[in-house]
Amino acid sequence: MTRVSIPKPDGGIRSLAIGAIEDRIVERAVLDVLDPVVDPTLSPWSFAYRRGLGVRDAVRALAEARESGLAFVVRCDIDDCFDSIPRWPLLRRLRELVSDAELVALVERLVGRPVTGERASGGRGLHQGGSLSPLLANLYLDTFDRALMRHGHRVVRYGDDIAISVPDRPTGLRVLDLADAEAEALSLRLNTDDRQVIAFDEGVPFCGQVVTASSGPTADLQAKPLQGTVFVTTQGALLRVKGERLRVEDGDRLLANVNLKRVRQIVCFGRVGVTSTLLQRIVERGIELAWLYEDGRHAARVSGLDGTDPEVRLAQYRAADDARQALRIARQLVAGKVTNMRVGLLRAARAQQAPELADRQARLATARQSALIADSTAELMGYEGSATRDYFAGLSQILGPEWGFTTRQRRPPPDPVNAMLSFGYTLLTNEALTACQLAGLDPYLGMLHSPRRNRPSLALDLIEELRPVVVDATVIRLVRTGQVTPKNFTLTDDRGCRLDDHGRRAFLDAYERRMLTLVHHPVEQRRIPWRHVLLAQARTLAAVLSSRRPEYRPVVWR
């Protein structure tokens, strides 16, 4: 290792330790293996050195904390963070996540390399300038994040720069002492010259920006697609085509008049008519048409033949018949779902002081690890079922008793939350059916869900990792913002709880906004809307089944 000093933008000096080119190549290869293992375990409010996250996300998280009613912020940072991290506890934490002893031993050798001309560090410190150091620092500091979370406080952290929102100054002073103690327990110390409790009214400096009482949180970035989905909920409506326009008519009333070039999918609920001319036109243009019952259950679907690929389907059938290969893919599907449930639970609880949720999210993290080493599909489904029950029990606690939601139930859904979840999952499954077809896959033969007549098992596989981040997040937002209330539902003995017209329109609007929200995709290496994530994941799976990619990786919410 060679010591190199470079100037900081603020006028200071940053000291880096740069390894030989051979070591840097090895470090980069190790990072590519470790990042998918370590990153999903980190707090959703850790923003530095993570793909797809950055300063904008950290500042937005702090603004969101202010919007939840917290008026003050504890600001501090860790003194000489990289140089102070003890390696042995760090490696012990890494061994908890990585079962490959040789890989951990290689990491130990890489972080323990001496710098030419300097004394040994005595088992302490990570080399600034090394490819692995940021990831390992995040892993070690995640213990600090979890400790504060167990006390009911959320740490927004960008590297070693820390912001903890609190309701008042006395609480902030107590949290500052608590943070000091937790850092000391990790053999670290807070910088004595840069620790304070600041009101948003004064302006909170964080990540080079200032968050004030009036600056609003940055809205979720959303795609502006050339094509969108047309939802038709009016009973007795008729869909027809006139020239290049899709017209939705209800008797003499014109409900919608849309250019066909702007339509990617049409979803009809209940008694909606379609002319034969329109059917022919949408099949020619590759536009999907789906009919759902009024309660959201799938009824029928019309689509063209685009995407049919016999070679991909043969590979899919061979994989489904190979228990080992199917299990490898199924593990990742469940691990992705559990990871996103954990993050979703933490995000949903951000406005509440609920320290008991820290234990619940820890169990979800353990369930994810267990899922990745399950020996059979039955064992895997056991871990998934246990994690799902834990997740929905936490969600019940967060939403409150007024919604009557205790656990996930369906056929028929007994309460408003279950009604919305069932409705949303049906919409998402319909999207996944389209994604499977465009990727050349058979949507009815899955790797996780067993084959059953008329059940789109592969489509259900694909939506597992997206349920918490798309549908559940939509439901939570609707409940939190009051866009739907228990009054927007009707309950019958035979059909359970159902959305009324106003509630259905509000849900569809929120669902569409969520599907257009941009997220970083690990394979695409760019931000794409959640709707396109489904297609990207279907194509990734097709590539894995065809041996064009080594393994399937879920998209995780961060």
**Binding site residues for Mn(2+), as ranges?**
384, 449, 464
- Encode 383-395: b = buried (16+ Cβ within 10 Å), e = exposed: bbebbbebbbebb
Strands (E), 386-531: 489-492, 496-499, 518-521, 526-529
CA distance 26 to 30: 6
CA distance 473 to 511: 9
SS3 annotation, 89-124: HHHHHHHHHCCCHHHHHHHHHHHCCCCCCCCCCCCE
CA distance 274 to 268: 10
User: Are the beta carbons of 440 and 307 closer than 8 angstroms?
Assistant: yes
Residues with Cβ < 8 Å from 163, sequence gap 6 or more?
62, 73, 74, 75, 155, 156, 157, 204, 206
- As given in the structure block, the two tokens for residue 427 are 């919409």
Q: How far is CA 302 from CA 230, 238, 269, 277, 437, in A?
A: 15, 16, 14, 14, 12
CA distance 52 to 527: 8
288 burial type by CB count under 10 A (0-12 exposed, 13-18 middle, 19+ buried): buried
Cα 451–chain centre separation = 27
Q: Count CB neighbours of 367 within 10 A.
A: 26
Beta-bridge mates of residue 273: 238
Residue given tokens 């041996």 in the structure block: 547
Closest CA to 521 of 555, 493, 472, 544: 555
Q: State the DSSP code for 486.
A: G
φ/ψ of residue 42, rounded to 5: -80, 160
Q: Which residues are annotated as a binding site?
A: 384, 449, 464
Q: How far is CA 336 from CA 18, 316, 371, in A?
A: 35, 21, 10
Closest CA to 299 of 328, 324, 274, 326: 274
Q: How many residues does the chain have?
A: 558
Strands (E), 243-386: 245-250, 253-259, 263-269, 273-274, 288-292, 298-302
